[in-house]
């Protein structure tokens, strides 16, 4: 999980994921239920993921590679610059899954049931 391709492959295999590029060809947006859960910059080693606000602050203090979300709500989004420091691949996967789960949890019960069914 230390390059664009491995992150993209992981995001795309999650259930119900839609891949879009509404901000131009250099930013890939991953959505579930029509809502963003990850943004991958193709011209920078950066991944934006949604995060619980308290945990977002903790992660920023613990990891040099984690900063407030670039061009996103600084409260709810973190940017991960994976070339800033070595990060365990499982850690990045966990952050992607947490972001995905936060978004799925905000969807209607009907959409959640469709994703889980």
- Cβ–Cβ under 8 Å, residues 16 and 114: yes
**What is the per-residue pLDDT for 3?**
86
Q: What is the mean pLDDT of the chain?
A: 94
In the chain, where the domains are located:
4-116
Cα 116 to Cα 37: distance, rounded to the nearest angstrom: 17
Which residue's structure tokens are 């990060």?
87
Cβ within 8 Å of residue 60, ≥6 positions away: 66, 67, 68, 78
Cα 18 to Cα 49: distance, rounded to the nearest angstrom: 15
Q: Please state the rounded mean pLDDT for residues 1-12.
A: 89
What is the SS3 assignment for 111?
A: helix
**What is the per-residue pLDDT for 66?**
97
Tens of pLDDT, residue by residue over 31-51, are 999 999 999 999 999 999 999
Share of the chain above pLDDT 90, in %: 89
**What is the per-residue pLDDT for 1?**
64
Cα 6 to Cα 58: distance, rounded to the nearest angstrom: 25
User: Which class is 4-116 in CATH?
Assistant: alpha beta
């Amino acid at each position: 999980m230390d390059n664009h391709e491995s992150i993209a492959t992981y995001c795309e295999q999650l259930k119900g994921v839609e891949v879009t590029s509404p901000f131009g060809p250099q930013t890939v947006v991953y959505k579930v239920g029509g809502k963003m859960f990850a943004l991958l910059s193709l011209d920078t080693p950066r991944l934006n993921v949604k995060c619980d606000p308290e945990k977002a602050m903790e992660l920023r203090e613990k990891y040099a590679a984690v900063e407030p979300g670039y061009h996103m709500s600084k409260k709810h989004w973190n940017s991960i610059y994976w070339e800033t420091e070595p990060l365990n691949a499982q850690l990045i996967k966990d952050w992607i899954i947490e972001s995905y789960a936060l978004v799925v949890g905000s969807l209607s019960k009907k959409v959640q049931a469709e994703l889980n069914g």
